[in-house]
Structure 1
Amino acid sequence: MPSTPHRALRGFLALCTAAGLASVAAPTASAAPGTGPTAVVTMGDSYISGEAGRWLGNSLTNSGSRNGTDRAWTGSAYDPSRVYGATAGGCHRSDTAEVKSAGPVASSLINLACSGATTENVIRASQGGQAYKGEAPQADQLAAVAASHDVELIALSIGGNDLGFADIIATCAKDYIVWYSYCHDDQQAEVDARIDGVMADVGRSVDEIRAVMTGAGYSASDYRIVLQSYPSPIPRAAENRYAESGWARTNTGGCPFWNDDSTWARDSLVPQLANRLKGVAAAKGVQFMDLRDALQGREVCAKTSKQVSSTVPASATTSEWARWIDSQSTQGLVQESMHPNAYGQQALGRCLALVHARPTGNHSCRNTAGAGASGMYLTAG
């Protein structure tokens, strides 16, 4: 981690929230609903694609395996493709992405999401959608999957990049490190000005998925759509293990935010977005998976979690489940910051598996203190 605030700032100015999911090669033979290999598909942005899946907790050690946290370490160098495969440097679809961590819920677990994707990257090209990072719009990719598989469930995470999550994170960090001012008042106004339009675009994305499935011969009862919200990567102020004053949050914890801004993000911004996404799900007649509390107590700098060190090994039961802000990219890429890491993704995969087994209703997914992914559970949501 950096030792001076001005060096730290350079990383924040480059911060980009992005993440993607990996496409799985589809069989060439055509299928129809109820025939062919079953499939669960994920679509959308970095929070479902697997961004930050490279990491098992956070460590201040900058060399070697970083105390076992860096899964890209080969023993002599770093190779992100060990985690992200051919999408390293692009969509960043990890081997621990939500759908890949869901277990044997279908014959094929297909990841179409891409790091940095917005709603326009979901919509079909024929309807004005845009290709992204060299790939066709995700709805067009879904059409090929629907034709060759028996698609049972499609999970969608989208809207965060449309709303400007990356800019919010960068602004709030900059206000802590440089300007000594709060960000939440100005940022709340920005969110309020954008959110209606963003939700309309999320709704259109759901409509596009439906149109593709109808075109492939599916009826509404042949498959399910699950719209999911976002987990908070940082804790509220009262649950942060580092003091607000000094440089520990910047140089040690990787959570450079003021108390009021942290609590605003955890208890206002994340719930506001979740509630609005739930409204879209209700309006479109799809299921909703609420992840706002999925990382509770496992966030970056949370009192009830620990950094990894030479004496504290990486562990799903004690380590943080989100990637810290590595402001100088001394470990991996800045774009991995503030995303669920491999532990967090495994937990979200368990959430997806649990919802897969619940064909109706809305559900909130939470973790059990002191347990790993197997401790995730659902409540009515």
Structure 2
Amino acid sequence: MRTSRVRGRRRVAVATAAVAALCGAGLTQGGAVQAQSKAAEAPWVVSLGDSFISGEAGRWSGNSNDSAGGYSGTDRAYDPATGTTDEHRVYSASYDNGCNRSDSAEVHSAPAPAGAHRLNLACSGATSTAILLPEHGGSPFKSEPSQAQQLQKAVTGHPVRAVVVSVGGNDLGFEDVILACGTNFLKPIGGKPCAPDQAPEVKNRLPAMRTAAVNTLADVTTAMARAGHPAGSYRLILQSYPSPLPDGARVRYPGEKYDRLTDGGCPFFDKDLTWAHDQLVPEISTTLGSAAKASGAEFLDLSRAFEGREVCSTTTVHAGPDQRPSGRTSEWVRFVTTGAGQGQRQESLHPNYYGQVALGSCLGLQLDRAPGDRRCDNTPGQGPRAMRLNPASAS
């Protein structure tokens, strides 16, 4: 069984670390100087996983239907001085293979000591298979080696403060669920809420998602041990997902009409919005929390981090000629787009620039506290730096 193999690998990792410690006792003077130099190096914070931590949609600071001036200032890839757009300004080289690691991704937005090294290995669209070690089924994804492999190579010989993981949503098929719900809404005849059909399907997939998360954390732990970092020498954090959509009672486009698509970018029935917000996202979060506990990892619950800042929420507004984008008034999630107009379809319903700054604030707060499980919430009416931590079990 996988569980016994994980335990066996952990015992091997502990034994390997013990041998390394014994060998280290016989360092020469030159080796001691080198060890002191490494100890003085600022510790690394590394992120692994999928689009919610890679920085997908970080190109956008809020949403707008006004195309002038870089969509009323929301397009961070737009240069007003030249009138040109270059996605590499935000995503750098990762734009070329679609990993879309933005400059505002959580690990980069998190407050950290001066000089701290931040490394983002996450890739948009990644399932657990893209993270696992090759001997456990891991495989290259979007032309890159498995993230656990990359992690082991990158942190060997460097101090590590924390490894933060976001995984499970793609294993669950979250995008397919959202696509099915949106497609139902857009049917000209016979469209009906998707929740009655999707809810039982999701429940059936949750155990497999939990297993995928547990296996991922086990391989991250193994990769770290192989790199000389035994369990307990760094923070291992598994995080959940913020709800990108409000419940049906808080949509600023009343009535289930097409303006939810054409203006708001939230083409969903009220029943589906309420199900996704009140049940789907919390169920995913609870399952991931269980995976973290089973793996000895900390859990950061982000399920309500965007409350009131979701796409089409009544407490947000679009940017326009008379409304500049702002972390206090704009949505923190990219609205649904087909990719035929502004931006890429894969950016839809992901944390935008403000959302990523908010998640970075959550991570910074978590790292400033003693290890433990917590939930991160925003402060109503405030920007993305005004985040707060609460006990994970708080309702």
- Alignment TM-score, normalising by the size of structure 2: 0.86
Distance 1:68 1:31 in 2: 47
Structure 1 residues 328 and 212, CA, compared in 2 at 3 Å: closer, same or farther? closer
Please give the alpha-carbon distance, in whole angstroms, between the structure 1 residues aligned to 2:172 and 2:280: 11
Please identify which structure carries the higher helix content. Answer: 2
Deviation (angstroms), 1:329: 3.0
Structure 2: runs of 5 or more not aligned: 1-33
1:211 to 222, 226, 232: 222
Question: Against the structure 1 CA distance between its residues 239 and 374, is the aligned structure 2 distance closer, same or farther, given a 3 Å change threshold?
Answer: same
Question: Superposed, which structure 2 residues align to 1:185-334 within 5 Å?
Answer: 185-334=196-345
- 1:79: which partner in 2? 86
Deviation at 1:33, TM superposition (A): 8.2
CA offsets per residue over residues 153-184 of structure 1, 9 Å max, x none?
01100010111111111100011111421101
Aligned to 1:51: 56
- Residue equivalent to 1:66: 71
1:32 is displaced (CA, Å) by 10
Distance 1:367 1:377, change over 3 A: same
**Cα distance, 1:30 vs. partner?**
9.6
Give the deviation of 1:146 after TM superposition.
2.0
Cα distance per residue 1:222-270 (max 9 Å; x no partner): 1011000000111001111111332111111000000010000000000
Kept in 1: contact 2:66–2:320 (CA 8 A)? yes
Q: In the alignment, what sits opposite 1:101?
A: 109
Q: Distance in 1 between matches of 2:296 and 2:370?
A: 13
Displacement of 1:35 in angstroms is 5.7
- Residues 129 and 137 in structure 1, CA contact (< 8 A), matched pair in contact too: yes
Q: Does 1:343 align with 2:354?
A: yes
Residues 1:156 and 1:33: Cα distance change in structure 2 (over 3 Å) = farther
Aligned to 2:127: 118
Instruction: Please state how far the C-alpha of 1:326 moved relative to its aligned partner.
Output: 1.3
- Structure 1 residue identity aligned to 2:112: P
Determine what percentage of the aligned residue pairs are the same residue: 42
Amino acid at match of 1:61: D
- Comparing both chains, which one has the higher relative contact order based on Cα–Cα distances under 8 Å and sequence gaps of 6 or more? 1
- The total of aligned residue pairs comes to 353
User: 1:62, CA displacement in angstroms?
Assistant: 2.5
SS at match of 1:65: helix
Aligned AA (1:48):
I
**Contact 2:266–2:312 (CA under 8 A) maintained in structure 1:** yes
**2:307 aligned counterpart, secondary structure:** coil
TM-score (norm 1): 0.90
C-alpha displacement at 1:103, in angstroms? 2.2
Aligned-residue Cα RMSD (Å) equals 1.6
Structure 1 unaligned segments of length 5 or more: list them: 1-28
Query: In structure 2, how many angstroms separate the alpha carbons of the residues matched to 1:32 and 1:274?
Result: 40
Distance 1:31 1:79, change over 3 A: farther
**Residues 277-315 of structure 1: per-residue CA shift (max 9 Å, x gap):** 000111111100000000000000000111111111100
Output the amino acid matched with 1:38: P
Question: For the residues of structure 1 that align with 2:62 and 2:391, how far apart are their CA atoms?
Answer: 30
> Does structure 1 conserve the Cα–Cα contact (< 8 Å) formed by 2:43 and 2:158?
yes
Deviation at 1:218, TM superposition (A): 1.9
**CA 1:99–1:166 in structure 2 vs 1: closer, same or farther (change >3 Å)?**
same
Q: Distance in 2 between matches of 1:215 and 1:33?
A: 17
Q: 1:328: Cα distance to partner?
A: 4.6
1:99: Cα distance to partner?
A: 0.5
Please report how far the alpha carbon of residue 107 of structure 1 lies from its aligned counterpart in structure 2 after TM superposition.
1.4
CA distance in 2, matches of 1:125, 1:116: 18
2:236 is paired with a residue of what secondary structure?
A: strand
Contact 1:155 1:228 in 2 (8 A): yes
One-letter amino acid of the structure 2 residue matched with residue 313 of structure 1: R
Q: Which of 371, 387, 392 lines up with 1:360 in the alignment?
A: 371
SS at match of 2:370: coil
Do the aligned residues in 1 keep the contact of 2:54 with 2:123 (CA within 8 Å)?
yes
- Does residue 377 of structure 2 align to residue 380 of structure 1? no
* In 2, Cα distance between equivalents of 1:289 and 1:31: 33
